[in-house]
Structure 1
């Protein structure tokens, strides 16, 4: 039996072949690179981290922060003050001379001014707070014109309130104050607490009372629940709470048939339309008593 021989050693020298298999470390690095998480980390995460770190380091200095703020403000101001963004004048349309003057006094804008410096929403809210303004629209027109389009409330009645005299529109909203009734003799007069809350009904009564235009003095709200029609000579037509127009038309029909309002009648009580009641004037009552006494003798 032949003895075992020793294993042959690879010949050393320049012609020795390298093992093509990767090392364990290289293999693991290659596998990690093929993992999406690690690839995103190296491609995105690390650059972003470096940028954020550099940015944070730069802005840690107050002088650097102030320099950036000043530069941004300078660029912004250069854009805002460009000619196409400048407002040169304000045009107010639909406003009376008094309101026009009041708006210009309230907003003393030093033109030209950048449109970015105008708070149109705040201006709109402040103008809409005027009692006389029903609607207002603001916009900057081409050419640098600030247009203020106003729709004013139209007064339809003079309301003698408990402590003042007011102009009110068809909704009962206050329009303006008056120093006296003579300031607007062209508008009908209503009086009493709550009259401004029932303007549609008052207008309907006034429309039905057109035949009484020569004697009509106005409407009086009584107890915040019904109306009295005030006529010349301290006469009144007392209307009911419900269907006041129908009751007034009934009085007008009686007047047309019997010339009722031309008689010595102080009040016509229509609070119960089924039973109208007349109150005579004091001279007529005295004459009536005299006539009755003659019959009793």
Structure 2
């Protein structure tokens, strides 16, 4: 009896405890399996199934980029899809300003994106990029001639001053056909570059006012049509005109001829 009490009772207690634990695990496993089965039945219902992705209102190339960036494997369940994560991946694209993602009852994942519109071509130190009006990169291109319709800016730091560049280019509209681009010098000021190797050097402060003076001279005296290589407006109070080599040579010839006649 003593042995039965000393060994049998603990053994029985251990068996009962083990059975209880096993029963609990078994019951828990049944509950988990039931929950998973119920979840699958709900998730797999047709009304929650996404079978297509729609990207309206953007270019075909961007729509394809968005579908790839969304990283949604179809068919997918709208209940399991993290639309915020999808939106963040899409907004990480350079060409997308913002996006809205929603699952429609028709089984379509609709992605509405606001596309960044390039307004200038930037010849950056590392390549050629298209920038929007805020100076944000839209895309990278292999040649400036990919977008000959857009004005060209160049130089370090030019991307941070796109609004100012656009204002200067608008002022230069009277000679717009001759404008080759704007060059940012030392990330401090702009040079307006025209054909015939003409350059208008603008000051650091208030370059629009200085260029306005040049455009007024052009309107009244057609100064940019003359043999002038540089119009230096870095000191607007004392503008400097540099003649072309041909004009300098002709001026020297005229002076020499005049001196000979006087002699």
TM-score norm. by structure 2 comes to 0.86
Could you say what the CA RMSD is over the residues aligned between the two structures, in angstroms?
1.9
| Contact persistence 2:69–2:90 (CA under 8 A) | no
Partner Cα separation in structure 2 for residue 154 and residue 117 of structure 1: 34
Q: Counterpart of 1:226?
A: 189
Say how many residue pairs are matched. Answer: 242
In the TM superposition, what are the counterparts of 1:2-151 in structure 2 within 5 Å?
Answer: 57=20, 61-107=24-70, 109-151=72-114
| Contact persistence 2:121–2:128 (CA under 8 A) | yes
Cα shift at 1:59: 7.2
Partner Cα separation in structure 1 for residue 219 and residue 41 of structure 2: 79
Q: Which runs of 5+ in 2 are unaligned?
A: 1-19
**Cα separation, partners in 2 of 1:242 and 1:107, compared to 1, 3 Å:** closer
Give the structure with higher Rg (CA). Answer: 1
Partner Cα separation in structure 1 for residue 50 and residue 259 of structure 2: 92
| Contact persistence 1:238–1:269 (CA under 8 A) | yes
Q: Which has the higher contact order (CA 8 A, sep 6+)?
A: 2
Spell out, residue by residue over 1:170-204, the C-alpha distance to the aligned partner (whole angstroms, 9 max, x if none): 00000001111111011111010111000110011
Cα shift at 1:106: 4.2
| Contact persistence 2:69–2:89 (CA under 8 A) | no
SS of the counterpart of 1:75? helix
Partner Cα separation in structure 2 for residue 197 and residue 258 of structure 1: 34
| Contact persistence 1:137–1:149 (CA under 8 A) | yes
| Contact persistence 2:198–2:230 (CA under 8 A) | yes
Partner Cα separation in structure 2 for residue 258 and residue 124 of structure 1: 56
TM-score norm. by structure 1 comes to 0.77
Q: Which runs of 5+ in 1 are unaligned?
A: 1-56
